[in-house]
A and B are shown apart, each in its own frame.
Chain A
Amino acid sequence: MGIYSFRGGVHPAGNKELTRDMALTPFLARQEMVYPLGQHIGKPAAPVVKKGDEVLAGQLIAQADGFVSANIYSACSGKVKAVDHHLSGAGIQTPCIIIDNDGQYTPAPGVGTACDYADLTGPQILDKIKWAGIVGLGGAGFPTHVKLAPKNPSAIQYFIANGAECEPGITCDDRLMVERPEEIIEGMKLILRLFPKANGVIAIEANKPEAIKIMKKAVSGDDRLSVLVLKVKYPQGSERNLVHAVTHKYMPSGSLPADLGCVVDNVTTISAIYRAVAFNEPLMEKGLTVTGDGVERPGNFKVRLGTSVQELLEHCGLKDGVKKIYLGGPMMGLALSDTGVPLVKTNNAITCMMTDPVEESERFGTNCIRCGRCTRVCPMGLLPQQMSEAAEKKNYERYVKFHGTDCIACGCCTYTCPAKRPLTQLFAQTKPAAMAWKREHEANKEGKA
């Protein structure tokens, strides 16, 4: 298979050199840990501890509430300080469990002990994943035990390990593949037990030669596993592009990879599955990159979930006069107004910048000149220019007609716009209303018919 590419996309500066060669280093927080109850897609988990309870590292503190939900574990030992509202990364007050960290990290009984998983069956593995509270760690946060249980498992032809990591600046997946390839390979073998007819494909962007080399070596000799090298281009790691890369089929909006015989999981998720099954470890920590010119000592860390962004940044040496901090990379990252927020399952990077191109670009903004560059970079083949006109007029009918509800908010159009128009922001604002309009419109149509 040649190097795969897709139509559209942009080439933002990679900025991966900053942390590419920095090994994943454990970071153990000393201060209080905070666990939002809703840090996954689906129903928020229900707390099973109350104020004053003593907890250990790896102890269940909130239980999945319903099928599409996920367990939450304490990553530290200490005392429950409160079950109350706390500021989250999204900038809103949300129900959280707050734990006074004793700094001892005393493990709960049984956590971290090696298990024999050679004879585990598919359902047992799924149970283990559900128990561990694993969700899509690439950023989506969809409960993994749901994703790995499609209606017809034998129709799945490919299990795709997403190691594309196309966001600029982030290198923690790269490091994971370089440092712990066996966790990913073993994890994939476990998952392939769920899908008897599937082959495993590890998709990696071509800018990670070391990871490609190591993963290729690790899969050699296994005829169910292979490595697929992807062209360096954002958003190469988007699920729909990955499915196209592997199957050469185009996945329409509103469908799931499983409809095309694919299941996609991030490499970090796969490693977490392996650790849950092999070491009885619930999801307590994950790789995370701290990068940007706003920190003295950027690096890759194994961070305990619940750690305060503030504490980690202090460890890395946050510079004075930093302009902007966002969770994630520059393309899809979530800007923080306050660093007193906890790290959750879906975070994979903290980027600190001394300059804010958004602020600067405002000075150079003009009217739309209809240059069409947004159209050429849209990986979904949309017309952002026309969508924005409809969105500004709140003309949802027209917005839907231009397939605006297919927008994946990748940010390519905004990145490339010479007039510096905030297109992605406009679409993010418009999409929910447009979806509602579409549903209502379809309901009306059905009613009439």
Chain B
Amino acid sequence: MSNLLNVSSNPHARTEHDTLHEMYNVILALIPVTVFGVAHFGLHSLIIVVASILSAMVTEYVFDRITHRKNSLWDGSAVVTGLLLALVLPPTVPIFIPVVGSMFGILFVKCFFGGLGQNFMNPALAARAFLLISFGTLMTNYSVDGTSSATPLAVLKTGGSVNTTKMLLGFVDGHIGISIICLLIGGLFLLIKGTITWQIPICGVLSFAFFMGVLGGKGFDPQFLAAHICGGGLILGVFFMATDPVTSPISAWGQALYGIFVGALAAVFRVFGNMADSMTYAIIIANLLVPLIDLVIIPRPFGIGRNVQYLLDDDQNGRINIPKSALILMLIALLTGGALAGVNYLTAPTIAENQLAANLAAFEAVLPEAESFEYDDAVTAKVEEAAAASDYYADGAFGKVMINEVVAGKDASGETIGYALSVTTMEGFEGEITQSVGISADGTVQGIAFTVLAETAGMGMRVDEPDWKSQFAGKQVDQFTLLKSGGASSDEEIDSISGASTTSGAVVNAVNAALDFYHTNLA
């Protein structure tokens, strides 16, 4: 023979399936939701997707070059990271956001820890967490084309209800990867291809639903649970992020347990956290538990512990404690969840008191003559009646406005001298604005004060300036009108802040809603 023979250890056959195929499957699975997102949100979202992918690839390539590593671009993992990051970004963010995010994710989470397969948490989610912390306002602005509206989850958070069918299809505001149905198609494809296993998504969703039911305050109301499952990237998270093989457990039992953790954390964060987003942190925290899970959950090898008790009496090592350790870990998860639920139950009245205290300052500001504030059960019933009647106060006659609560202001002798109303509008330039409006017993507006205001600095934020707010004080009118051009001459007219008519208008509408409530129910 002329040539030397190759010698290697068995096996001598290999599947054609390689790492690139694995990544390729994920990319294919994400195409429907990406296409939908781009079609739904417009060209800018396409630019975000492209920018995110390109900067992920460039970052990895440059790092490989600088550190003299084998070019690892072809394995496709950078594309997956870039694409996943783009899908969890709002469709309006400036281009530097995906670029900075991809660079952070690839460089700090992946490359610095040894590249492919070595990252300790999902790079796309780590990047998102980084962006959320660094550019909070941009990252939570889901308004498209200047017409702002609340994301379904923000609406849920403030107690409104949402259209689940629209959420399922994706015709709502949110991040680019919004269409649940497209995500499910992609997830099913990955399941069939064996790139992901059923344990993480199924256990994740079930555990989320369970903990949401226990902690969410609405019980196991299917409408409520469905809305929460469809919202806030839960499906994207459990099918595409939590299943990232590098940062999820290796054994089937471990994956089930990890799925339960992800779901439980997501539910806890969503209920108790102060922002609508819960998936990002749920998954990256669960990622950190993976090495522990992998060490503890060791499946029972073939033939150990079944039908063979008479054989292995001496083999204690063989009697695997997986079900035991898995049960213990699950028990811990359940106990923690139960404890949280218990704490929630016990502290709910206190929390309400705390809220009252926080609002108290605003109430005092808008009704300075009152000595004390008290809930009036009859009035609270009216508030709840109005909230139950439709999503927004008076069927949206004042825009997306909700009356949160109304307290009666009492003087030293206990006489009601007026009311303070807490009103939220979702139509601020950046979404929610919550304010208190004080109205005295004769129907005169005493003043307004903001409790939630996150408008554009130097523009919308100027509504908080005393000069502007004072326009409302001392006026006894049925309704206010906004003059965009300025030059208000009558009591009814309010000058708009120049360049911030959206914010000004939202505030005026909210005050009008408060007046309307007053005239209808309190006068």
Contact = CB atoms under 8 A, between A and B. Distances in A.
A54 B81 CA distance: 74
A240 B302 contact: yes
A358 B14 CA distance: 7
Interface stretch (A39-47, A108-116, A203-211, A381-389): A381-389
B318 interface: yes
A356 B9 contact: no
B13 A331 contact: yes
B117 interface: yes
B293 to A, nearest CB: 11
A246 interface: no
A253 B303 contact: yes
A416 B418 CA distance: 75
Contacts of A331: 10-13
Given A240-B303, A356-B6, A369-B116, A252 B312 contact: yes
Given A372-B250, A386-B294, A419-B19, A425 B308 contact: no
Contacts of A67: none
A371 B20 contact: no
Given A321-B3, A335-B12, A369-B22, A250 B250 contact: no
B347 interface: no
Interface in A246-285: 248-255, 259-260
A118 interface: no
Contacts, number: 209
Chain A interface residue number, banded: 35 or more
A419 B13 contact: no
A375 B197 CA distance: 12
Contacts of A417: 14
A418 B22 contact: yes
Nearest to B310: A259
B307 interface: yes
B324 interface: no
Nearest to A356: B6
A373 interface: yes
A330 B298 contact: no
Contacts of B355: none
Nearest to B312: A252
B303 A251 contact: yes
A131 interface: no
Contact of B17 (A249, A333, A416): A416
B308 A255 contact: yes
Given A252-B311, A322-B5, A373-B194, A366 B13 contact: no
Nearest to A413: B11
B195 interface: yes
A299 interface: no
B5 A370 contact: no
A95 interface: no
A358 B11 CA distance: 8
B14 A361 contact: yes
B251 interface: yes
B17 A418 contact: yes
B159 to A, nearest CB: 42
A381 B302 contact: yes
B61 to A, nearest CB: 16
B246 interface: yes
Nearest to B294: A386
Given A369-B245, A403-B301, A259 B311 contact: yes
A414 B114 contact: no
A406 interface: yes
B2 interface: yes
Given A255-B303, A380-B301, A383-B251, A371 B12 contact: no
Interface centre among B2, B10, B18, B308 (most CB of A within 10 A): B10
Contact of A323 (B6, B195, B294, B312): B6
Interface string B14-43: 110111111000000000000000000000
Nearest to B114: A367
Contact of B12 (A357, A367, A375, A383): A357
Contacts of A225: none
Given A330-B11, A406-B302, A364 B20 contact: yes
B7 interface: yes
A1 interface: no
A241 B257 CA distance: 29
Interface in A415-444: 415-420, 422, 424-425, 428
B118 interface: yes
Nearest to A310: B1
A403 B298 contact: yes
A419 B246 CA distance: 12
B298 A359 contact: no
B218 interface: no
A254 to B, nearest CB: 8
A356 B12 contact: yes
A338 to B, nearest CB: 8
A371 to B, nearest CB: 4
Contacts of A411: 10-11, 13
A214 interface: no
Of the listed residues A255, A383, A402, A425, the one surrounded by the most CB atoms of chain B closer than 10 A to its CB is A383
Nearest to B246: A370
A166 to B, nearest CB: 13
A398 to B, nearest CB: 9
B304 interface: yes
Interface string B193-236: 01101000000000000000000000000000000000000000
B160 interface: no
Contacts of B251: 372, 375, 383
B306 interface: yes
A406 B312 CA distance: 14
Interface in A219-254: 240, 248-254
B115 interface: yes
A426 to B, nearest CB: 9
A297 B354 CA distance: 88
A58 to B, nearest CB: 33
A16 to B, nearest CB: 14
A409 interface: yes
Nearest to B255: A372
B481 to A, nearest CB: 62
Contacts of A368: 117
B300 interface: yes
Contact of A367 (B13, B118, B195): B118
23 contacts: A12-B15, A252-B302, A252-B303, A252-B308, A324-B6, A324-B7, A324-B8, A330-B13, A331-B12, A333-B10, A335-B9, A335-B12, A337-B5, A358-B8, A358-B12, A359-B8, A366-B116, A369-B245, A370-B248, A381-B300, A418-B19, A420-B18, A428-B9
Given A252-B302, A255-B311, A356-B8, 10 more contacts: A337-B5, A356-B12, A369-B117, A370-B250, A371-B195, A372-B255, A375-B251, A375-B299, A383-B299, A424-B10
Interface of A: 7, 10, 12-13, 91, 168, 240, 248-255, 259-260, 318, 320-326, 328, 330-339, 351, 353, 356-361, 364, 366-373, 375-376, 379-383, 385-386, 401-403, 406, 409, 411, 414-420, 422, 424-425, 428
